[in-house]
Amino acid sequence: MLQQIIFYALAALTVGSAAFTAFSRNIVHSTFALLGAFMGVVGIYVLLAADFVAMVQLLVYVGGILVVTIFAVMLTQGIADVTVSNREVGVIPALATSVIGVAVMLYAVIRTPWHQTPVPAAAPTTYAIGNAFLGDYVLPFEVASLVLLAALIGAIVISRHEAKE
């Protein structure tokens, strides 16, 4: 029972923070609300006993991307005073798409025959993930690293080209 309460609290934190991030008119408040969304996801991963994924989420998203985003927002002069224009553009299509998406998800949840199984004991996943990365999945892992390296080099080339102009 306690685990369900914690899950629903983390889900509410995640969804509420994500909604505040999306709908806030102040970019500084949106950036700080993103912290709540990321930390809620970390908590859900911990409840799922996915310790490796939780720590990667914490280190990469909260420790890296969010901190860089906060610095970028804080170091940009006058960004807090910027008003977002055209907030009313596309409200009807967005609402229609959201209603259709919610209807499809509710239909899937209601019509699916859910089978409940006993919950297995939580066990660390780091060892198995490390063996998988260095065993069966070493080639895709290395290909992904090369693709990310190429994307990084491409971003540097594009930004240096724009800086020269």
Question: Exposed (0-12), middle (13-18) or buried (19+): which is 41, by Cβ within 10 Å?
Answer: buried
CA atoms 74, 57, 37, 106: torsion sign: positive
- Topology of domain 1-82, per CATH? Four Helix Bundle (Hemerythrin (Met), subunit A) (1.20.120)
Q: Evaluate whether 57 touches 42 at the Cβ level (below 8 Å).
A: yes
- What is residue 49's predicted lDDT score, i.e. its pLDDT? 86
Model confidence pLDDT, tens digit, residues 50-106:
888 899 899 988 888 888 888 887 777 666 666 656 566 778 888 899 999 999 999
Residue 12 phi/psi, 5° resolution? Answer: -65, -40
Q: Which residue has the higher pLDDT, 65 or 160?
A: 65
What proportion of the chain, given as a percentage, has pLDDT over 70?
Answer: 90
Amino acid at site 145: S
- What is residue 112's predicted lDDT score, i.e. its pLDDT? 94
Report the predicted TM-score, pTM, of the whole model to 2 decimal places: 0.64
Q: Which residue has the higher pLDDT, 127 or 38?
A: 38
Sketch the domain layout of the chain as residue ranges. 1-82, 124-165
